[in-house]
Amino acid sequence: MQLNLRNRISFFYLISTAILTGIIFIAIYFSVSETVYRHMDEDLDAESNEIEKNLVVLNDQFIIANAFEWNEREHGQIEVNPVFIQIIDASGKIIKKTGNLLNGKLNFDSQLKTEYYFNTSLSGSQIRQVQIPIKNPSGVILGYIIVAMPLSESSTVLNNLFVILLGTFWLVLLALYYITRYIAGKSISPINKVISTAERITKENLDERIELPEHKDEIYKLTSTINDLLNRLEDAVLREKQFTSDASHELRTPLAVLKGTLEVLIRKPRDVNEYESKIKYCISEVDRMTLLIEQLLMLARFESGKVIPVINEIDLNTAMQAVIQRVKSFADEKKLSIKYDDDVKVSVHADSSMVGTIFENILTNAIKYSNENGCVNIKIESIDGKATCYIQDNGLGMTEEQASRIFDRFYRGDESRNSRTEGNGIGLAIVKKLADLQNISISVSSQVEKGTVFIVSFIN
């Protein structure tokens, strides 16, 4: 049977309490039992000592010196607190016994050579008995003194105690079960609120949050953690919606341009030069879409978590010079110069391919947003084992709010999709993802109309 949390808490608490209570009750029963038997054994000792005082041992015989001890009332009565006494010789023959034994006799165990207490029966009634050897000065056993008392009163006390403890045990467990079940229900009621609220939340109302409980306990932490998870989920869903919208827009624009251009071409015959011009334009738009799709696939692959960096020791100087060679033609088109001091030799542990992509995207972005006839400055330095690369342009610059969003997908600082500056806002998003995969820190410092500095920090 599958129990809910409330009943499981009650059940396990009940089992543990039952075990502890059972141990305590057993300890109480045996403690009382031991006390009862100890008092009876003390009474038996007192009686046996009286008998021993009236025994005279001569050579290999013993004589009962005081016969009046045997005539005491407790030795003759049977109904009220009787004391049974029996003396036997070494062979087991009864020498003398009290009158209250009538035709009966006390049990004798010839194997017992020392004083011994035990429970037995007499005429169907339970008795407590002690058997004490009678020895001569040489230690030879001449006979035995056997003294017994009825166990009826003690048995009644112990039986009543057993019944009371057993009845109390079940009553305590029953009361504890319902009390524990009530307390468990009150304790997990915040969890039920969490469940009911979580069941209501769908992608249509991801902004709804679970109410935090009053006490800052484990349930409070659980609720807070779930709310944080919902925040991340909402942010991810919103980003995916924005991504889909932006990607659709980016792809729709060149497609619309292609369609419009081709429709214009087929309306009437045109000369060869015009056909060539329009076709080249269409090809450039196809290239733009191809680049966008390739970047989207690259970003999706990086974000899937299936791409693992291959970390090796690389020379940042070599990596930067290779990137500069790849973007030099682009810089020449804008009549830009790239200044790089390659005197500093710095090695870091990173993925050389990913580092090359990071530098190329940042440098391409710097060239794109720099003014013509300007300059892009690159500097690498190493301080206390931390290598840092600075890439600075003298372009448009950004506000603080724009700089905080520069690594968002499809974000462009000039916020104009019809801007003269080409690009789709994917490059720096790829940079950020590649940096995160390698624990590389990237920050941006920018001032409007003064330029922007990208700071890439490696921690070896």
pLDDT value of residue 416: 40
Question: Can you give the pTM of this predicted structure?
Answer: 0.50
Given the DSSP bridges, would you call strands 337-340 and 375-383 parallel, antiparallel or unpaired? parallel
Residue with tokens 């659980």: 222
Give the Å distances, CA to CA, from 311 to 83, 191, 362: 96, 45, 21
Nearest one of 231, 229, 240, 280 to 258, comparing CA atoms? 280
The angle that helices 218-267 and 272-303 make with each other, rounded to 10 degrees, is 170
Q: What are the residue ranges in the chain where pLDDT is below 70?
A: 1-3, 59, 65-80, 243, 246-247, 249-250, 253, 303-306, 412-424, 460
CA–centroid distance for 226 within its chain: 15
Which ranges of 304-412 would DSSP assign to H, the alpha helix? 316-333, 352-368, 400-404
pLDDT value of residue 414: 55
pLDDT value of residue 454: 94
Under 8 Å CB-to-CB from 453, ≥6 apart: which residues? 390, 391, 392, 444, 445, 446
CA–centroid distance for 227 within its chain: 18
pLDDT value of residue 28: 92
Entry field: residues in the chain: 460
Task: Kindly provide the residue ranges of all beta strands, DSSP E only, lying in 406-450, ordered along the sequence.
Answer: 441-447
Residue 403 to residue 311: CA distance in whole angstroms:
29
Residue 3 to residue 41: CA distance in whole angstroms:
53
Mapping DSSP onto H, E and C, the string for 81-125 reads CCCEEEEEECCCCEEEECHHHCCCCCCCCCCCCCCEEEEEEECCE
- All domains of the chain, ordered by start, with CATH? 5-159 (3.30.450.20), 218-303 (1.10.287.130), 312-459 (3.30.565.10)
Residue-wise pLDDT for 115-145, tens only, equals 999 998 888 888 899 999 988 888 888 889 9
Give the Å distances, CA to CA, from 90 to 53, 97, 105: 19, 15, 16
Residue-wise pLDDT for 20-61, tens only, equals 989 999 999 999 988 888 888 888 888 888 888 777 777 677
